[in-house]
Amino acid sequence: MQPIGKYRWTICSLVFFATTINYLDRAVISLLKSNLSKEFAWTETDYANIVVVFQLCYALGLLGAGRLIDKLGTKIGYALATTLWSVSAILHALATNTFGFMIARGALGVTEAGNFPAAIKTVAEWFPKKERALATGIFNSGSNIGAIVAPLTVPFIAEKWGWQWAFILTGLIGFVWLIFWFLIYEVPKKHKKISQQEYDYIHSDVDEKAEDDTEAPKLSWVKLLGYKQTWAFAIGKFLTDPVWWFYLFWLPDFLEKQYALTKTDIAFPVALAYTLSTIGSIFGGWLPMHFIKKGWTIFRSRKTSMFIYALCVLPVVSAQYLGSINMWLAVSIIGMAMAAH
């Protein structure tokens, strides 16, 4: 029996690095908040408004990003999104006032919305259903890696060359990724490096005709909102995503105010929190697959896993009390809560 092949994991690594860059670009501003607040006389409200503009534009971008990726195809759609968000990240360096930052953040929000629809579509194209949770967990851990790389680089770049270069250099990384994307990526049926055995394995639990975009029925928004699954997913995201966004944009500021950590001092505490969340992200993708291999149904495996993740969030309530005893313990608990989200 010939080996199946593992080229699909090369594709997964590409998506992982794209997600890493995506989160690196969006995390820069939270690490420069202290510098920018002094230079532009920002109040806490000013910074909050800038964050809200990003989130609002990101939400609006998500409404159309998936449709655009479907229309353009994964290869061109992902490349276009990465190009536009990399340009938007660099444009932060040209901002001269609060309004300029709002414009740059809005552009970054709209364009970065393309990452996850493109990433999920890539996984659906390249992985059988039984491996998609693991592949999603791996590429999603890139969001944590990006948030780890940011505090380990951005404060040092800003201190040595100025805050503008922190935005420029992180933005340029996206263009490096684009080179590898065009050299390596193609859909399985057109890819020259995938074996027939791996192609058959990818489609082993999928009705290929049903997966064909030209055969798939089109659903209107009204009909889509009639499904309870749509509301279950939307409500779940509504309850969990704000927590993640809160940590992403306000954790450095919390460490500065609570523990007087500034500039490069916040690098390792923030990196620790996201390192723990990275481990949790990969574990989160592995756990339901582990249950499925034990003979559980997909529904039971995923629901049980989600319940376990929800329990892991609860200790974060104690972080505010433990923080006065040990900063590292508090940061570890926050990291565990982030992993669960």
Token pair 């500021």 in the structure block, residue = 253
Residue 315 lies in a domain: yes
CATH number at residue 157: 1.20.1250.20
Per the structure, the count of domains in the chain is: 1
Question: How much is the pLDDT for 251?
Answer: 76
Residue 129 lies in a domain: yes
Residue 46 lies in a domain: yes
Crossing angle of helices 228-259 and 327-340, rounded to 10°: 170
Contact, 72 vs 121, CB < 8 A?
Answer: no
Residue 71 lies in a domain: yes
Contact, 248 vs 26, CB < 8 A?
Answer: yes
Question: How much is the pLDDT for 19?
Answer: 95
Q: How far is Cα 249 from Cα 231, in angstroms, rounded to an integer?
A: 27
Residue 32 lies in a domain: yes
Residue 82 lies in a domain: yes
Q: What are the tens digits of pLDDT across the range 31-58?
A: 898 889 989 999 889 999 999 999 999 9
Question: How much is the pLDDT for 209?
Answer: 47
Domain that holds residue 293: 7-340
Q: How far is Cα 293 from Cα 283, in angstroms, rounded to an integer?
A: 15
Half-sphere exposure of 276 (CA within 13 A, CB side): 21
Residue 68 lies in a domain: yes
Q: What are the tens digits of pLDDT across the range 119-149?
A: 999 999 999 988 888 898 889 888 878 878 8
pLDDT below 70 — which residues of the chain? 1-2, 206-217, 262-264, 318-341
Residue 2 lies in a domain: no
